[in-house]
Amino acid sequence: MPPRRFKSLLRATFVCLSFVTLAYFLIGSSFEGQRSRTTHVPTTTTDRVSEKKASPRWLDSAPPFIEAIMNPEDRLFDRLECPALEGTRYEHFRRSSNVVNITTRMPEYFFALDLTDCAHVLPRLIGSIVETMRFLGPENCALSIVEGRSVDGTYEILKLLQETLASIGVEYTFATNETDPMAKEGVRIEVLAGLRNQALKPLLENPNSYAPETTVIFLNDVALCMEDILELIHQRVYQQADMTCAMDWTFLGDNPTFYDVWIASGMHGDSFFFVPETGDWDLAWKLFWNHRASAERLEYGKPFQVFSCWNGAVAFAAKPLLEKHVRFRVSYEGECFQGEPKLFCKDLWYYGYGKIAVIPSVNVAYSDPMAKRIKELKGYVSRWGTTEDASSKIDWKLKPPADVKCMRSYEDQPWLPWDEQLAEHGVAP
């Protein structure tokens, strides 16, 4: 049984919230309303790149953030500590720079983020991305960030970063979008999907400028290490996966609690933990209570296949986006209401890209202090041991579960055919 405190905290947090608010909490991206602020940011559907004004106050305080982002040794911010890379596990990614033809360079790694009000996590998050890009070769990497509605200096830091990243040869696209997913009822997922697609724009609009085997690394506002990112990419190659996901965590009281339960479904079609119609998270610690195979692999830190995941950090093939035009989208008319990452995975399956896996050695959280605690509890990637044996390989299923549970709301969680409404909407495999 969970401690009493845990239970009452759950009640306090959730019971009086409507599902709509809750669903925001569950998806866990920075665009969602955990911090549903009511700041007076104008709502507009146009890109306001050129108009957005930097605040002098935040511009003044941005340089130490840039310093920390560019220098892994910087100690000004109390960030999650990350181990130095050891061994040769990721050496196969390194490209000697004389192999790369600068005039015809084609990045193979596309980093995408949508960020709002998360200055606190930028030294760790962007710092780890920069470290990773340096490791992979800056000329092999592109970074695309869409910022929106920030009032905490996030915009100014990311803007100031432009010059610095250009100086190390990274292709960095920085855009803004002030559209607020919370501004109007019923448009939340549509807005979130649009923002995610906007982050992918440089890739989608210039497919010929990227390598055919490009990997997209899409990250939420999480604290994570270079080894977390490299492991997601490594497992995508090693397992020949179409998409790999981390595990993301929050804390309810002292209990580490898996966060992305609204999106993630196992190969049994069910959520990672049971959420009753009361919306209670009392059973959150019993992950894969009804799917032993997944529960075991999770416990031993071995990658396992799922129907859908996002979990704060993912690496996926650009191919289905470029060839099959898969995009982030809202539910079709008549299709069960669900979050855009789940629909994304559903569409991947439909087009034959169902090798989707959770990498349980990669654990992330939405702040540095929480990430520290979660690394202590779940271990760093490198501490999981990085040798591979026969059992590390996923035994891929080529067919998805026949039915998948759709958490339309906590009261209403129907089991529906996994490809519900796709044929009706003329989606052809």
Ligand X SMILES: *[C@@H]1O[C@H](CO)[C@@H](O)[C@H](O)[C@H]1NC(C)=O
Binding site for ligand X (CB under 6 A): 45, 47, 101, 103-104, 177, 179, 191, 194-195, 198
Closest approach of ligand X to the CB of residue 52, in Å:
12
CB-wise, 220 or 363, nearer to ligand X?
A: 220
Closest approach of ligand X to the CB of residue 327, in Å:
11
| Euclidean distance between CA atoms 371 and 208, whole angstroms | 37
Closest approach of ligand X to the CB of residue 348, in Å:
21
Beta strands at 313-317 and 243-252: parallel, antiparallel or unpaired: antiparallel
CB-wise, 104 or 387, nearer to ligand X?
A: 104
Residue sitting closest to ligand X (CB): 194
CA distances from 292 to 161, 267, 298, 415 (A): 46, 11, 10, 20
Closest approach of ligand X to the CB of residue 239, in Å:
32
CB-wise, 22 or 195, nearer to ligand X?
A: 195
Residue reference for tokens 């080894």 = 227
CA angle, residues 64, 251, 73, in degrees to nearest 5: 25
CB 220 within 8 A of CB 233: no
DSSP code of residue 366: S
CA-nearest of 288, 293, 251 to 271 is: 288
CB-wise, 195 or 263, nearer to ligand X?
A: 195
CA angle, residues 20, 26, 31, in degrees to nearest 5: 80
CB-wise, 158 or 195, nearer to ligand X?
A: 195
Beta strands at 403-405 and 415-417: parallel, antiparallel or unpaired: antiparallel
CB-wise, 230 or 321, nearer to ligand X?
A: 321
Give Cα 206 to chain centroid, integer Å.
23
Closest approach of ligand X to the CB of residue 204, in Å:
11
CB 47 within 8 A of CB 175: yes
Closest approach of ligand X to the CB of residue 34, in Å:
19
